[in-house]
Amino acid sequence: MINYPALKKRHFPDIVQTYVERDTMLYALGVGFGHDPMDEKQLQYVYEKNLRAAPMMAAVLGYPGFWVKQPDTGIDWVRVLHGEQSIRIHKPLPVAGTVVGKLHIKAIVDKGKDRGALLLQEREVFDKKSGELLATVDSLSFARGDGGFSEAGDNGPKGGDPAPPTPPATPDAPPDLVCDLPTLPQAALIYRLSGDYNPLHAEPAVATAAKFPRPILHGLATYGVAGHAILKTCCDYDAARLKSLSVRFSAPVYPGETIRTEIWKKGGHVQYRARVLERDIVVLSHGVAEVA
């Protein structure tokens, strides 16, 4: 069972991560940059000449690993799902350098005994040399087996913390822009080299045991592909124009499928969702991006 007081006070050691230009290019390849070899705007993210870092890479910097698996958390980690993800970019990401990730638990929400719990983590990513805050990364997980923890004695306030605001629903209108980006059959094998080595995305036997016909693409890779689509259609591939990107995960993607990102313009921001064309299924919903 979740120990609310202990989790809210849990100390996470700083994660110091050094990365080089090769890592920046590898991340970009994992989310589909470079698919068109004649597109020089894509090339700037996967080639050392005038290299730029994709803003979505903030999601993998200073990452503390799958810490909910540690036995002292009380979390039924097998039943934990990644529900939502957001990044806010404060400074352009360096193409190489050393960063420090500082994680804390922002909220723990008790939805009820049979409805699970929500776990909201916030990670701040700093440039180690300058001390500047580069990005704030929020991740919402759905702990399906941990509802009702606040009903057990003095284990936090009733209901836990207030639930975070619900992101805006997808507009009920045709999208203003559409961007189709294919993924490679080996996309998950490339993306995992950015730090997520969960065998679910590589081993057929593990995927089968998890009731999938084959390995699935990482949720954060799908998120990165949608961010790539927004950079392409709304920012003319200018990384400095993408200020924030948030989304809700709704279904897995299989490597090799085509991801269509549907975009609605809403003043200084856009709303978006993503679907897989081959199966006509929405894989990302409730997406919002701030575009300068």
Question: Torsion angle, CA of 70/76/81/87, rounded to 10 degrees?
Answer: -40
Q: Which of 259, 101, 262 is nearest to 174 (CA)?
A: 262
Sequence-ordered list of residues with C-beta below 8 angstroms from that of 77, at least 6 positions apart, any chain: 66, 68, 69
Annotated catalytic residue within 147, 219, 224, 287: 219
The answer to whether 219 is a known catalytic residue is: yes
User: How far apart, in whole angstroms, are the C-alpha atoms of residue 83 and residue 268?
Assistant: 25
Contact 103, 12 (CB under 8 A): yes
Annotated catalytic residue within 23, 30, 97, 201: 201
Contact 223, 285 (CB under 8 A): no
Helix (H, G, I), strand (E, B) or coil at 140: strand
The answer to whether 201 is a known catalytic residue is: yes
Annotated catalytic residue within 2, 75, 87, 216: 216
Q: Which of 291, 290, 4 is nearest to 146 (CA)?
A: 4
Helix (H, G, I), strand (E, B) or coil at 230: helix
State the angle between helix axes of 219-234 and 21-30 in degrees (0 to 180), rounded to the nearest 10. Answer: 90
The answer to whether 196 is a known catalytic residue is: yes
Q: Which of 105, 91, 30, 90 is nearest to 60 (CA)?
A: 30
Count the Cβ atoms, other than its own, within 10 Å of residue 109: 20
List, by residue number, the catalytic residues: 196, 201, 216, 219
